[in-house]
Amino acid sequence: MRLMFAPPKIDMPLLQVQNLRTSFHTRNGIVRAVDDVSFQIEKGETLGIVGESGSGKSVTCYSILGLIPQPPGRIEGGKAIFNGGLDLLNCSSKELSKVRGRKIAMIFQDPMTSLNPYLKIEDQLIEPLLIHEKLEREEAVSRGIEALKEMGIQDAAARIKSYPHQFSGGMRQRVMIAMALITKPDLLIADEPTTALDVTVQAQILELIKKRQSELGMAVILVTHDLGIISGFCDRVNVMYAGRVVESATTPDLFYKTKHPYTKALQKSIPALQPKGAELYTIAGMPPDLSKEMGGCPFVPRCEFAKPECKNPVSLVEVEPNHLSACLRIQRGDLTL
């Protein structure tokens, strides 16, 4: 039941995700890919989600947009309130379609597999305008050309007639971003948008996203495994491990006042932050098998600070203003990193 008047509060977050649980029912058991994840993002904010492969960062984003194939996937529970109104996890697919691609857009890691090789850029680029804004084709094309120009593609009027294979990797990613932003969304979800690109091109693409973000005032969720990108790009960061958010803080706090052993371990194991040639810190063991039930903190088997009581259930708690940690010892105050 939705109220007739749902006056959006002024300080309502743009997207509020509560207790999201997504699992995959496979032959080898139930894999809890996302396990009780809650976070929110304000208008215009940039939220980073960082974690290693299998930590659930992509599945979180896919779940919000209803892109999880069901079966084998299943959203077991939770809410994702968008703009104080629609719950993206519990609405009809028709309602979701009105938001997805218009208010919330997404870009993916590999621009080659997310563009249709049989269609001209033009047809793919203006599709959101034809569907969501019901524009005439001519008008949509001119908006499309405009969008390509804004992405720094020269000779846009001619290039819009090309096919995806005629573009380089960096150019394709520009087209993807142009396509995502053409409806001027309130929220852009970027899943590893530069992982497949060279560093010099990566710098260009991130710069472009940043520029368009400030022009449009949109919020961005950036999923990455690269702490370097996080440090330059994001306002806030969620660190994910084994399907849970283990730490959430502003970017400087996360780096300089780390409050979770896993975040600390990640920082210690990247060469960029270590003196040259020094032995790198390695996290012992391997990420846990998500198909097994985990009572306590999922990082316990690999954590150098683990105590027996760490096997007890733990949740994400504010340990300092605006700084959340899911480490029992940090919460009790008997561990400083």
Give contact residues for another protein (rule: CB under 8 A): 52-53, 168-171, 198-204, 207, 225-232, 251-252, 255-256, 265-267, 269-274, 276-277, 279-283, 286
Least distance to another protein, CB of residue 95, Å: 37
Q: Which is nearer to another protein, 128 or 243 (CB)?
A: 243
SS3 244: strand
**Residue 205 corresponds to which tokens in the numbers above?**
């693409």
Q: Which is nearer to another protein, 131 or 203 (CB)?
A: 203
Least distance to another protein, CB of residue 266, Å: 6
Q: Which is nearer to another protein, 84 or 301 (CB)?
A: 301
Q: Which is nearer to another protein, 67 or 273 (CB)?
A: 273
Q: Is 242 exposed, middle or buried (0-12, 13-18, 19+ CB in 10 A)?
A: buried
Q: Which is nearer to another protein, 70 or 282 (CB)?
A: 282
**Residue 173 corresponds to which tokens in the numbers above?**
């990613």
Least distance to another protein, CB of residue 299, Å: 11
Q: How far apart are the first and last CA of the chain?
A: 47
State residue 220 phi and psi, 5-degree precision. -130, 135
Least distance to another protein, CB of residue 6, Å: 37
| CA–CA dist 32, 22 (Å, integer) | 6
Least distance to another protein, CB of residue 165, Å: 14
The neighbour count for residue 279, using CB atoms within 10 Å, is 6
**Residue ranges in 217-314 assigned as alpha helix (H):** 227-233, 251-256, 261-269
What's the number of CA atoms in the CB half-sphere (13 Å) around residue 190? 34
Least distance to another protein, CB of residue 204, Å: 6
Place of tokens 């985990």: 294
| CA–CA dist 26, 19 (Å, integer) | 22
Q: Which is nearer to another protein, 10 or 286 (CB)?
A: 286
Sign of CA dihedral 162, 167, 171, 174: positive
CB 218 within 8 A of CB 188: yes
Least distance to another protein, CB of residue 257, Å: 12
Q: Which is nearer to another protein, 66 or 152 (CB)?
A: 152
Q: How far is CA 75 from the centre of its chain?
A: 17
| CA–CA dist 177, 153 (Å, integer) | 12
Least distance to another protein, CB of residue 109, Å: 14
Q: Which is nearer to another protein, 18 or 195 (CB)?
A: 195
